[in-house]
Each structure stands twice: as structure tokens, then as C-alpha cells.
Amino acid sequence: MKSLAITGNFPEANVEALAVVVFKGEKASSADLSGLDKITGGLIASVIANDEFKGDVGETALLRFHPSGKVKASRVLLIGVGDRSDYKTHAVASVAGGAVRFLQKRKIKSFALLPRSAGNAADVAQFAMQGCITSQFELDKYKSKDKTKHTVNSFVLCVEGAKAAELKSGLNRGQIIGDSMNFTRDLANEPPNVLTPTEMANRAAAMAKETGLKCEVLDEAKMKKMGMGSLLSVSLGSEQPAKLIVLRYTPTKNTAKKGELLALVGKGITFDTGGISLKPGEGMEAMKYDMSGGATVIGTMRAIALLKPTVPVLGVVAAVENMPDGRASRPSDVVTAMNGKTIEILNTDAEGRLILADAVAYAEKQGANRIVDMATLTGAVIVALGDQNTGIMGNDQGLIDEIIACGKENGEGFWQLPVSKEYSKQIRSDIADIKNIGPRGKAGTIMGAVFIQEFVDKAKWAHLDIAGTAWADGVRPHQAKGPTGVAVRSLIKLVEKSQ
Ligand code: BES
Ligand code: ZN
Ligand code: ZN
């Protein structure tokens, strides 16, 4: 997407369509709209007066007119955003993305956007660009025909009174963040016969090479040596060997306090059949997305490598396939994790926590003193929070609050669920230290969290259950159906705030 930042003369931008934000109840005579209204010969005033356009969130109206003078565009796209007081900077991403998808359907190639946000100019530009880029992601990679035509290939951003350099740097950041979200989404969308643990490791390694990250891939022999009996128990039933993908970002100028290291740890189950505790056939195909936590880590690390914050970040992804087989784990098997704890596996479908156990212990052993793990861990979080909020739990309220705040800035909801000793008691095993499931039908999401907590020693830790938010079941005005790239933006912010 070609982009250009301008700080005035919006109606004269050399584009096919002028997209402008309109607030609920706004009149065409308002300062920002009256000039445009004149250019269109009063069309804006007429659609507002006739209640054809009210400015509600998500509302759009495309008006055609005959341009004259210095005006090149022949269309105005009105984009409703609701009340002015509710209009947050991050909403610019959905506005821009919504405009791209709307105009694309009408074969338009270029547009200018007047986002009318009161937010910081660089942030506005960042969200605008990110929204444009993520709006063009489609599920059609494997279609041999009928691919969506991305006709919109250039956009002009106008923020009046802003500094051009600020806008430019915001656009650059938006490009990196949008591309990284799409990188994550592409991984999550890959069919499991393509994206095996080995392929996931290869994609991470190729990305690392391109962006200057260090990448190390631990094979099963190495993991065995390190005592990762919990992680390895999950891949026993698969022909595909497990891989532990380790990505390291080291800043050239390091402003982190000595001993500070943030680790992002992801669940990368490339397909979850449930193992011997086999899932029902109906809906099993959705489990190709069970590596979304890992994909989020890889995409976020890509953005970090390119944005170059001044603090180090460690990325760890446990890439494993969960299959039933003669060699697979049985319910009642006992395994020993890297930190020496013994686990009674009572359900082989609760495999995410088994791989994360060793992955978080590994991250801490590598020196991490703050760990954020992310996983499509439980169906229960979908029941509790649906697709609007990611479940967040952890052992440190400060870290949890920081992530929630980063989410708010990016329009990503995180909702905290409790963990406590009482919950932890519920995963005590009769014959081993702990068991991998809690009491049937009770606090399933929290049981997953308190299990992972057993493998965190001194580090501050937060756990994100993205099972409900990593995949959108339907198309949204600014976004295709499918993988969402949730949490990438908030985690980038978390890293940047720790500078
Ligand atoms: N990958 C699933 C979680 C999941 C289930 C995500 C349904 C989206 C929809 C996870 O590995 C799993 O199967 N969890 C079990 C845990 C249970 C056996 C304690 C679940 O949620 O049912
Ligand atoms: Zn499972
Ligand atoms: Zn799973």
C-alpha cells in the first residue's frame, strides 16, 4: 500500500475518493464538513437531513459528484463513528480498514482519509496504516481462482496541523505492525498438513534471518536432555517431531535495568485432535488455529525486530502436534516436567498446559523475570467471555494491569479472572504432584492458568487465554473472517512501555 501524509488541502488530494469521519448527530455545516459539502453540491447536507446517514458506528454512505477546480476525487465516503466523546485513537484503524474494504468492493484504487481524531498525530497515522493493511488480509491463499482483488493500493492520510515527519514515522510503524499482524494471521490460517511444527520453526527462522533476530530451534533430543518430559509427552502420538522455537531480540542500545528480561511464550499446537482423549469429529477442523499463541509470539517478535525498542525480548514457542496413536500418552500416564514436578495426565486434550509448563520453565531458565504466555487454552474462556475479551490471569497484578492498559490503547479487551491457592488445590493429584485437569465443568480457564503457574518460579507472570479472540467466526466491516492477530498490538505496546 502506497501512502502519503498531508497536513491540509484534504479535498484536493489526488485520489478517487475522499473518506471522512462523521460524528453522530453532526450537521453538514460543521467546520470540517462544510467545505466538502459545498464540493458535493450539498449532498452531505441532504443525506443527513433525510436521515439517510446518522453517523452511527459502522455506518457508511458513498456520495458521487462531479469534481471541479482543483478537486480530483469524484466520490465522498462518509464513515460514522458514533459520539465524538467515545471516539478513541485506536478506532482510526477500523475506520481506515472499513474504508479500504468498502471501496475495494467498488473497484476504487485510491482514497484520502480525514480521520478527525484528537489523538497524537503519530498514533493516528500508525492506526490508519495498520488498519489499511490488516483489512486486506483474506482467507483465499489456497484458492486457485476467485481471489479478492486488492484494488485499493494507495492512500493519503490528512491530519490537519500535524507535523509531516510525525505522520510519516507513524505510517512506517503502522506498516510494520499491520504486516506483523498479518504474518501471525497467515500462520494461524495455514492448514495443519502444511504448518507442521517443523514448518512453523522454518517460518520463524526465515523471519528471524530477514529481520535480524537470533533464532534457535531445539529438537526433541535437546528437549529430552533438558528434561522436558511434559512437552514431549504431547508429541508422542505424532509422526511430526516437536520443536521449541527460541527467538531473541537484543537491542543495540540497551536501557533495561540489569537482569530485566521479558519473555513471550506461545502455545503452538499445530493441530489438536485431543489425542487419546479424542475430540468429537464435528468442529475438529477449527483446531488448526491451536497454534495461534505461538503465531502471536512470532508475529510480535517480527514487529519488535523492526521497531527496535531499547529492551531485550525473548520469544519461546512450543510447536507440537497432538495426535492419537499407539505411542500416544494415555489418560493416567505420569510425566516429569523440566522443573522436576510430576504430572498425572488425566485428559490428553488438556495438552496446551503440558507444553507451556516446560516452555515457561525454559524461558525463566534463560533469564526471563517477566513472562507473558498466550494460548488457545480452553473452550471455557469462550463460554465466559465470548469473542470480545481475552482472559487474563497471573501472579503479578502490576503486570496484568499493564497489559490491560496496553489493550485499552489498542482497542483489545483483556478481562481478568482470579487465581488463588484454593483453585491451585483443585489440581492436586492423588498419585503425582499435580494433574492436568480440575473438577469437571468448574472454572476450566482458571484451572489451565493455575496449572501453568506451577512452572513459574520467581518471575512475574501473566497468562492470556486467546481461545475466544484469536479467530473471528464472521466477517467484520474492517476485517475478514478468520484469524485476528489478537494481542500482537498490545504486546508490542507492553515492550515499548518497558523501555
Ligand atoms: N485447544 C483446546 C481449547 C479449545 C477448545 C479452544 C475449544 C477452542 C475451542 C484445548 O487444548 C482443549 O482441548 N482444552 C480442553 C481442556 C479440558 C480437557 C480440561 C477444553 O477446553 O475442553
Ligand atoms: Zn486440547
Ligand atoms: Zn489445544
Residues 232 and 158 in one domain: no
pLDDT at position 148 over 90: no
- Is 381 within the bounds of a domain? yes
Give the range of the structural domain holding residue 416, as residue numbers without chain letter: 190-497
What CATH number does residue 266 fall under?
3.40.630.10
Residue 192 and residue 272 in contact, taking contact as beta carbons nearer than 8 Å:
no
Residue in 378, 382, 465, 471 to alter for ligand 1 test, most ligand atoms within 8 A of Cβ: 378
Average pLDDT, the chain: 98
Q: Is 17 helix (H, G, I), strand (E, B) or coil?
A: strand
> Which tens digits make up the pLDDT trace of 338-388?
999 999 999 999 999 999 999 999 999 999 999 999 999 999 999 999 999
Residue 351 identity (one-letter amino acid): E
84 is catalytic: no
Q: What are the grid coordinates assigned to 207, written together?
A: 523471519
Distance from Cα 411 to the centre of ligand 1, integer Å = 26
Q: Is 404 helix (H, G, I), strand (E, B) or coil?
A: helix
Torsion of CA 81, 85, 91, 95, to 10 degrees: 20
- Greatest alpha-carbon pair distance for the chain in Å reads 83
pLDDT at 497: 97
CA nearest to 79, candidates 113, 41, 107, 46: 113
Residues 36 and 100 in one domain: yes
Residues 117 and 91 in one domain: yes
Please report which ligand is nearest the Cα atom of 275.
2
Residues 277 and 247 in one domain: yes
Residue 262 and residue 334 in contact, taking contact as beta carbons nearer than 8 Å:
no
Distance from Cα 376 to the centre of ligand 3, integer Å = 6
Residue nearest (by alpha carbon) to ligand 1 atom 13: 349
Per the structure, the count of domains in the chain is 2
Distance from Cα 99 to the centre of ligand 2, integer Å = 38
Residues 130 and 225 in one domain: no
pLDDT at position 428 over 90: yes
Averaged pLDDT for residues 196-224 = 99
DSSP string, 256-297: SPTT--EEEEEEEEEEE--TTSPPPSTTGGGGGGGGHHHHHH
Q: What are the grid coordinates assigned to 176, written together?
A: 510494520
Q: What are the grid coordinates assigned to 226, written together?
A: 533438558
CA 132 – CA 8 distance, rounded (Å): 21
Distance from Cα 377 to the centre of ligand 3, integer Å = 6
Residue 208 identity (one-letter amino acid): A
Residues 101 and 37 in one domain: yes
pLDDT at 149: 83
> Which band of pLDDT confidence, cut at 50, 70 and 90, is reported for residue 205?
very high
Q: What are the grid coordinates assigned to 60, written together?
A: 457508511
pLDDT at position 207 over 90: yes
279 is catalytic: yes
pLDDT at 150: 86
Residues 230 and 166 in one domain: no
Residue in 343, 349, 434, 484 to alter for ligand 1 test, most ligand atoms within 8 A of Cβ: 349
> Which band of pLDDT confidence, cut at 50, 70 and 90, is reported for residue 337?
very high
Residues 203 and 293 in one domain: yes
Q: Cβ neighbours of residue 326 under 8 Å, at least 6 residues apart?
A: none
Q: Is 111 helix (H, G, I), strand (E, B) or coil?
A: strand
Averaged pLDDT for residues 10-29 = 98
In the block, residue with C-alpha cell 505424532: 238
Residue nearest (by alpha carbon) to ligand 1 atom 17: 350
Question: In this structure, what DSSP letter does residue 476 have?
Answer: B
Residue nearest (by alpha carbon) to ligand 1 atom 18: 350
- In the structure, which protein residues have their CB atom closer than 6 angstroms to any atom of ligand 1? 272, 290, 347, 349-352, 376-380, 382, 437, 444, 467
Residues 452 and 390 in one domain: yes
- Ion ligand 2 contact residues with beta carbon within 5 A: 272, 349, 351
Torsion of CA 228, 233, 234, 239, to 10 degrees: 110
pLDDT at 72: 97
pLDDT at position 436 over 90: yes
Residue nearest (by alpha carbon) to ligand 1 atom 22: 379
pLDDT at 146: 87
Question: In this structure, what DSSP letter does residue 470 have?
Answer: S
| Ligand 1 atom at shortest distance from the alpha carbon of 352 | 11
Residue ranges of E strands in 137-261: 154-158, 214-218, 243-249
pLDDT at 158: 98
Domain boundary among 159, 180, 201: 180
Q: What are the grid coordinates assigned to 16, written together?
A: 478517487
Pairing between strand 243-249 and 214-218? antiparallel
CA 383 – CA 217 distance, rounded (Å): 35
Please report which ligand is nearest the Cα atom of 269.
3
Q: What percent of the chain has pLDDT over 70?
A: 100
Q: What b/e string do you get for 314-328 counting C-beta neighbours within 10 Å, with b at 16 or more?
A: bbbbbbbbbbbeeeb
Which residues make beta-bridge pairs with 321?
Answer: 271
Residues 176 and 195 in one domain: no
> Which band of pLDDT confidence, cut at 50, 70 and 90, is reported for residue 222?
very high
| Ligand 1 atom at shortest distance from the alpha carbon of 279 | 13
What CATH number does residue 162 fall under?
3.40.220.10
Averaged pLDDT for residues 103-120 = 97
Residue 197 and residue 268 in contact, taking contact as beta carbons nearer than 8 Å:
yes
Residue 78 and residue 22 in contact, taking contact as beta carbons nearer than 8 Å:
yes
Averaged pLDDT for residues 67-77 = 97
- Is 185 within the bounds of a domain? no
Averaged pLDDT for residues 107-134 = 98
CA nearest to 450, candidates 322, 356, 369: 356
Could you say which of 54, 84, 88, 279 is catalytic? 279
SS3 labels along 229-266: HHHHHHHCCCCCCCEEEEEEECCCCCCCCCCCCEEEEE
Residues 138 and 207 in one domain: no
Pairing between strand 75-80 and 60-64? antiparallel
Neighbours of 67 (CB within 10 A): 15
pLDDT at 223: 99
- Is 8 within the bounds of a domain? yes
The continuous run of DSSP H or E covering 393 comes out as strand 389-394
In the sheet with 313-322, reading across from the earlier edge strand, the strands are 214-218, 243-249, 313-322, 262-272, 370-375, 460-465, 389-394, 413-416
| Ligand 1 atom at shortest distance from the alpha carbon of 447 | 19
- Is 66 within the bounds of a domain? yes
Residues 160 and 267 in one domain: no
- Is 107 within the bounds of a domain? yes
Residue nearest (by alpha carbon) to ligand 1 atom 7: 379
At how many degrees (to 10) do helices 197-211 and 292-307 cross? 10
CA 243 – CA 217 distance, rounded (Å): 6
- Is 485 within the bounds of a domain? yes
Averaged pLDDT for residues 132-156 = 94
Distance from Cα 395 to the centre of ligand 3, integer Å = 23
- Is 281 within the bounds of a domain? yes
Could you say which of 116, 173, 267, 353 is catalytic? 353
> Which tens digits make up the pLDDT trace of 473-499?
999 999 999 999 999 999 999 999 999
CA 96 – CA 114 distance, rounded (Å): 10
Q: What are phi and psi of 280, to 5 degrees?
A: -65, 150
> Which band of pLDDT confidence, cut at 50, 70 and 90, is reported for residue 29?
very high
Q: What are the grid coordinates assigned to 399, written together?
A: 503486570
- Is 219 within the bounds of a domain? yes
Question: In this structure, what DSSP letter does residue 439 have?
Answer: S
Distance from Cα 281 to the centre of ligand 3, integer Å = 15
Distance from Cα 264 to the centre of ligand 1, integer Å = 21
